[in-house]
Chain A
Amino acid sequence: MNLNYLSNRINFLKSLQAIIAIIILWKYNTKMLNPTVDSISSMSRSYFTNGVQQNPAYYSPNTLSSIILIVFLFFLFLTRNDILPAIKSKKYNFSRSLAGLFITLIILLMVSRPEFDFSPAKGMPFILIGTPVMLTLILALEDIDLVKLVPQKSWMEKSSFQSIHPWINTILIFVIFISMSINISFLPPIISSDIPFFLSIILLAMALFVFIQIYSESGNPLVHDRRNSTMILIIALPLILYLTTRLLFLLKNPDSVTRERWDLSWSFMDMKNTFEINAWPIQPDFPDDDRWKFLYAAILNSGRATILSIVFCTILGVLIGVTRLSSNKLTSSLATVYVEVFRNMPLAVLLFLIMLQLGESLPLFQDEANIAGWIYYSNQGIFIPRPETARMLMAVAIVLSLWGWSRYRDREGVDDSEEALAKKTLIWSLTLSICLGIILTGDMSLPNYVKPNEGIPGSWNIEDGSAFEITKSFLALIIGLTLFTAAVVAEIVRGSIQALPRGQIEASISLGLSSFQRLRLVILPQALRSMIPLLNSQYMNVWKNSSLAIIVAYSDIFYVIFVMMNNVGKLIPLFLLLLVIYQTGSLIISGIMNFFNSRVTRVKI
């Protein structure tokens, strides 16, 4: 008695779920197919006056049907799960798929012929939406054991009816469909006046049919997979059709503003830009240069902000991460406070705060605040001396050659003893100080604070070209990104150090290594291996977070594209540019970090 009640309750719940699922599926189908029908009808209407096409959304039937059917065929191809290995093993039964392909070609031919005159309101939507439905039905029947459903009759076994019967339903369905679509105005109003209704019913019936087949769980796992894929295709079909037709309609929308938005051409980028930006290695001329140059300058801007932030945040992050594990309680708790504060702070608020605080705290320009006449700082920018290019190149060349020579010397193994370390430190510090000397003794152009008019403090400025300016927005962006990302990097460093096996640390202590040696020889090399994948994602975050430069009014990629979007209504082309640029940057960073990863994990521990 109890069990009966339980199974009754389960049955009731299951049937309730089934009813709800059917209702939801029905509503979803009609909701998606109604706008599809509308889009297709507006795209196939054509009326000419004086030889000019009056419907801006007109697509020739060939184009329209080929695009829709090719998209559908692609998804159909995806549902044939095992098609690639089966092709290789030459065991695949191609016939159904080829039949599908043939049917599509025939439909395409039919659509373009004027004899068949499919009307925009009824015929075109019916055939263009009906073909995917029909093809799905044909391919869904592949796995349906129709033979078992039909009672066995003796005459059926004897004739060769069996060998061609798989094709009978295909041909039957195709013929019925074609005749319906050609003579659609003669069909009863329940079909011809409300096409989405009719097609939704068919889709629903197919879904139920396939669901029953899945539920019966007959056949091997390959058949299961095919049935599952077919079910997913049936459910996704209205969405795919809706999106395709909607996107096609948007590309040629009658409303000119929407059409502008979705117009996929980048010719406007060759025109002159309408606003000015502030960029460093390349400063585009307003109003002479075209938009591509402005975009290129903005990419360089973003790039240099990102690279500097990555370098600084790594240094700061490693420092704080290691400090957090120090034995000095005061220091480690300060590091913990830093990490907790900056990890939970939103970056946008932090950037804005830093921008405002810099504006308040830095002195006014007319206060002539400087450090020994070399560095002038104010809330209109920081001016540092600009070294001579030739000397800079010489210094870089010396450093590079030293590095190459040390790599050559260490080709057979790095000498880790204390004396070697002291010697290396000495050589490197000597070289660096020589380079610094070369740069400084050269023709450094110091900031030249000129006062053209004593009575007007606002006109005092640093002479053009005499100093290298670091703008307040660049400074705010670098500080914000560094502080924020350093907290996360510190956590990563700490986590990977703490994940080291305890035995290593104890062994190094018992060997008598000092704490600095421990860090250098035992801890960091091993911690680096586990850190790099995590650092990779953090560096990609820095690259993507540099898009927040709009908050500090720094001309980065997003800022430039944002203002261009508002000046020219071409949203989609600019949006695609944005995505492509950010994805490329992420891939570059990922590639570099993977290179490091492969180098560091060359030796297996």
Chain B
Amino acid sequence: MSGDIRTFNSFIKKILELERGVAGRSRWDNNSKMDVNLSLLCLVFSVLFSSYMLITTKSSITIGGEVSSADALIYSSAVAVAWLGVSWVILISVIKRTRIIPKIVPLPWFGSTALLGIISSFIMLFLVEWVFDVLVISMRWDIVWANRVSVMLGPNLTEAMTQDYLVSENWRIWPIIFLLWGIVGSAYGTSGTSTRSYLIGFGVVSAIILAFAGNPLEANYNIDRVLFRFILATVLSLCCFFAMRYYSNNVEEYKLNRAKKYIGYAAISTFFLTIILLDPPEFIKNFAAHLVGFGIFESQLELITRDGVPPARWGGLLINLIVAAAGCVLGFAIGVILAFSRQSTLPVLKWPGVAVIEIVRSGPLICWLYFAMYLLPDVADPLFTNPEDFDNIVRMMAIFSLFGGCYIAEVIRGGLQAVDSGQKEAALALGLSPIQIKLQIELPNAVRTTLPSIVSVFIGLWKDTTLLFIIEIVDFFRISKTMANTDLRFLGDFLEPVYFTALVFWVFAFYLSRVSMNVEKGLGLVKEGGGDAA
């Protein structure tokens, strides 16, 4: 009984706190019993009103007859919850906050905070209505379900998967997926995230991925096999997580730092491994052919000796990820070089560095993409023994690296200027060579200080890969734009794929920005300011 009262009291306290957060201080602050009674009254009225709205909304939607009752139920319950919020805020403001302020306005007025609360609750209602309308009622999402593979891998690989006259090349993607899942698990294992929060987050993400891959609606691939492989990847990731967690709890810090470094190297090499696996260069194919002759791992190595998928046949999300990764990885290297060049005292390094950075930053990215597509081959063709090797995707990777490199150079330059000169002088006194000073003293300091800005440049590069469709590269955005025009089953559903694209890009960018915030906190770079009281 006392337990119930305690939970009830804590419940009341939470409600009162919420009210104060939304509407400001109550008139009955002094009289707590009256306060509590009024709160309960408002709550009850709101619940009644929202149930009324639930019933009316549901009946008004099902009149049309096009919407299934499950969808109508979801929509109406969401709208009802929103109406609960609105009515509750209005009642609270009117009942608890109104007072007469004779000096300025001779009418009862509930204060600007409560007014803000009411306006925001109406905005929230509008947003909830619109979001759920988009999700459940007016949009037909079948087109997205039907084109899942095409949007991820591009039309050529999809054709290889579905048609018999071509060999399916999707087996090249799975090792990369396993590797990535493993690296993600290990990285979180060595980091400071608590097991519970990681499991919740990872569980939600895995559930979404499994639901997305496993929905049998309009699937043109073997659902069971794909689901099995994704479950395997999830299990692998969890094993890596727990293994690394155990390791990091039982070992000295220097070993842990070394392990983190190795995980970093593994992550970077994943990028190169993806490219090699998708299109193995000649010497690897010959090497694998020799090994097959020896009879080791015959079936797997035999796969590598086959013709690879040239970059011109890649498509979909794969291209966006690879081009963004190239921009980030190679761009970081180029950015470091340019930053040091711009900062050096040697004119032969400084002026070319300044010229390159200023010219590249003066134009919008679209302009440089166009340049890389049509003008760069003219300049760079003699350098390739086979000019056809310099195809679209390679050009895009090159120009994204250059563009990202210039922005990262500016960021790192700011960080380099902030390095304490005492450190550099001490290093000089110790006899380190200039290159050693740069790489081991200045660069780590600069990167640590400017890591959030660097990550925001990475996020910008990821978002900018959506511009590839302008030069007719078949990336994720282009496929979803033209899906509605070419998929004869769902002609005319233009908006749904674009919403889906926006969601996918947003999720990746949001995740990166969360990671950046956590890293920032971990490195101790967050400053407490006075703004909260403002």
Mark A residues whose CB is within 8 Å of B. 31-32, 34-35, 38-39, 75, 78-79, 81, 225, 228-229, 232-233, 236, 242-243, 246-247, 250, 258, 261-262, 323, 325-331, 334, 340-341, 343-350, 352-353, 356-357, 360, 494, 497-506, 509, 518-519, 523, 544-545, 547-548, 550-551, 558, 562, 565, 571-572, 575, 578-579, 582-583, 586
Contact = CB atoms under 8 A, between A and B. Distances in A.
B364 A35 contact: no
Interface of B: 18, 21-24, 89, 113, 116-117, 119-121, 123-124, 345-349, 351, 359, 362-367, 370-371, 374-375, 378-379, 382-383, 434, 459, 463-464, 466-467, 469-470, 477, 481, 494-495, 498-499, 501-502, 505-506, 509-510, 513, 527, 529-534
A262 B533 CA distance: 60
B467 A348 contact: yes
B534 A523 contact: yes
Given A78-B351, A344-B509, A579-B359, A330 B117 contact: yes
A502 B529 contact: yes
B121 A246 contact: no
5 contacts: A258-B378, A341-B506, A348-B477, A502-B530, A579-B363
Q: Which 5 residue pairs are nearest across A and B when measured between Cβ atoms?
A: A498-B531, A502-B530, A344-B509, A35-B382, A329-B21
A583 B121 CA distance: 45
B contact face: mostly helix, strand, loop, or mixed: helix
Contact of B375 (A243, A545, A572): A572
Given A330-B120, A330-B124, A346-B466, A250 B379 contact: yes
B470 A550 contact: yes
B364 A582 contact: yes
Contact of A353 (B362, B470, B498): B498
A413 B529 CA distance: 30
B177 to A, nearest CB: 24
Contacts of A79: 346-348
B22 A328 contact: yes
Contacts of B534: 325, 497-498, 500, 505, 518-519, 523
Contacts of A499: 527, 529, 531
Given A225-B346, A243-B379, A547-B366, A348 B466 contact: yes
Contact of B510 (A75, A344, A356): A344
A498 B530 contact: yes
A586 B362 contact: yes
B363 A578 contact: yes
Contacts of B459: 344
B501 A349 contact: yes
B348 A233 contact: yes
A326 B532 CA distance: 8
Nearest to B17: A329
A509 B469 CA distance: 54
A501 B383 CA distance: 57
Contacts of A519: 534
A345 B364 contact: no
Given A343-B509, A499-B527, A544-B364, 9 more contacts: A328-B113, A330-B89, A331-B116, A347-B466, A353-B495, A356-B498, A500-B529, A504-B530, A579-B362
Nearest to A80: B347
Contacts of B481: 352
Contacts of B466: 346-349
Contacts of A331: 116-117, 119-120
A225, A331, A340, A347 pick with most chain B CB within 10 angstroms:
A331
Contacts of A262: 378
A225 B495 contact: no
Given A81-B347, A344-B513, A497 B382 contact: no
Contacts of A325: 531-532, 534
Contacts of A347: 463, 466
B23, B370, B434 pick with most chain A CB within 10 angstroms:
B370
A447 B531 CA distance: 48
Contact of B502 (A328, A350, A503): A350
A501 B530 contact: yes
A517 to B, nearest CB: 12
A295 B89 CA distance: 54
A279 to B, nearest CB: 20
Contacts of B121: 330
Contacts of B119: 331
Contacts of A38: 382
Given A232-B346, A582-B362, A505 B120 contact: no
Contacts of B510: 340, 344
Contacts of B89: 330
Nearest to B377: A258
A571 B378 CA distance: 12
Given A250-B378, A571-B374, A503 B530 contact: yes
A234 to B, nearest CB: 11
B379 A246 contact: yes
B348 A328 contact: no
A261 B375 contact: yes
Nearest to B459: A344
A360 B346 CA distance: 59
A582 B442 CA distance: 34
B22 A330 contact: yes
A346 B475 CA distance: 14
Contacts of B494: 356
Contacts of B123: 334
Contact of B495 (A228, A356, A502): A356
A229 B346 contact: yes
A40 to B, nearest CB: 12
A470 B347 CA distance: 52
Given A78-B348, A494-B531, A502-B530, A327 B499 contact: no
A548 B467 CA distance: 9
Given A347-B463, A518-B534, A246 B382 contact: yes
A349 B505 contact: yes
B470 to A, nearest CB: 7
Nearest to A537: B410
A31, A330, A498 pick with most chain B CB within 10 angstroms:
A330
A502 B21 CA distance: 22
A75 B274 CA distance: 40
A354 to B, nearest CB: 10
B509 A228 contact: no
B383 A35 contact: yes
A171 B383 CA distance: 36
Contacts of B124: 330, 334
Nearest to B115: A328
A579 B367 contact: yes
Nearest to B118: A330
B117 A328 contact: yes
A228 B346 contact: yes
A241 to B, nearest CB: 13
A578 B505 CA distance: 29
Nearest to A499: B529
Contacts of B359: 579
Nearest to A484: B463
A345 B505 contact: yes
Contact of A578 (B367, B509, B529, B530): B367
B378 A326 contact: no
Given A328-B120, A349-B477, A349-B505, A547 B367 contact: yes
Contacts of A504: 530
B457 to A, nearest CB: 12
Nearest to B138: A360
Given A81-B346, A330-B121, A353 B499 contact: yes
Contacts of B365: 544
A346 B367 contact: no
A85 to B, nearest CB: 12
Contacts of A518: 534
Contact of A343 (B22, B434, B513): B513
A38 B434 CA distance: 38
A258 B510 CA distance: 44
B505 A346 contact: yes
B450 to A, nearest CB: 15
